[in-house]
Amino acid sequence: QVQLMESGGGLVQAGGSLRLSCVASGRIITINSIGWYRQAPGKQRELVAVITSGGTNNYADSVKGRFTISRDNAKNTVYLQMDSLKPEDTAVYYCKALVNFGAYWGQGTQVTVSS
């Protein structure tokens, strides 16, 4: 079994920054891709950023230039540095990983950006 644990969410003013972390643990042979999604109230869950199995970083257009995804393979951890936050970034942020070719989700962490 594989577990994903997110941390780093919170309340921040517009223009501020937060750094999310997601640690993968359990029976891990290989992490094929790992990334972040978010879901705002009344909206569908959407991709924020992902590191593909080929090592490419992909971002949603709405966060390009403001968010940076990175990965520490030795720690099985992925980070999301979020700068210049906007109220519309308010959502529950979820980590998703393809581990051993199975898909796993974290429990989510709340990010709230006040105007």
Strands (E) across the chain are located at 2-7, 10-13, 18-26, 31-39, 46-51, 57-59, 67-72, 77-82, 91-99, 102-105, 109-114
pLDDT in tens, 6-65: 999 999 999 999 999 999 999 998 889 999 999 999 999 999 999 998 889 999 999 999
CA distance 20 to 26: 20
| Confidence label for 85 from pLDDT (cuts 50, 70 and 90) | very high
pLDDT at 55: 86
Sign of CA dihedral 40, 47, 34, 79: negative
pLDDT in the model for residue 101: 83
Report pLDDT for 115.
94
Dist. CA 69–CA 34, nearest whole Å: 10
Q: What pLDDT score was predicted for residue 53? A: 84
